Amino acid sequence: MDILWRAPAAGNAVRGKHIAERRCAACHALEAVNVSGGAESFPELSTRSDLTATKLSSLLSHLPHPMPAIMLPEQDVKDLIAYIHASAILP
C-alpha cells in the first residue's frame, strides 16, 4: 500500500478540468460565456478574489446548497482549486 505513504500531490489543473467537466459543468460552464444559464462559469469564478485556496477548499469539501452534496476526495478538491486558479485572468 505504497500510495498511503506518498505525500499529497499538489493540485493538477489538467486533472481538475476533467473533474470539473464531469461533476460541475452541468451548472458551471467551463467556457467564459455561461452557456448553461446556471451558476457562474469557471472563468468568472476564477476572477473572484474572495475565492482563495482556503475558501475554495472548505467550500468544495462540503458543497453548500444548491450544489449537490457530493463528497469530493481531497485530491479532487486540490485539482479543482488548481484548475480554477489556473484559469484566472490575472490583472
d(CA 55, CA 49): 10
Candidate residues 60, 79, 82, 85; the one interacting with ligand HEC per rule CB under 6 A = 60
Binding footprint of ligand HEC, residue count (CB under 6 A)? 16
Candidate residues 15, 34, 44, 59; the one interacting with ligand HEC per rule CB under 6 A = 59
Residues 83 and 17: beta-carbon distance below 8 Å: yes
The C-alpha angle 3, 75, 60, rounded to 5 degrees, equals 155
73 is a contact residue toward ligand HEC (CB under 6 A)? no
24 vs 82, which CB is nearer to ligand HEC?
24
d(CA 79, CA 86): 10
Q: Which 18-57 positions form the footprint of ligand HEC (CB under 6 A)?
A: 23-24, 26-28, 38-39, 45, 51, 56
Phi-psi region at 10: left, alpha or beta (left = phi > 0; alpha = psi -120 to 50): beta
State the residues that interact with ligand HEC by CB under 6 A.
Answer: 23-24, 26-28, 38-39, 45, 51, 56, 59-60, 66-68, 80
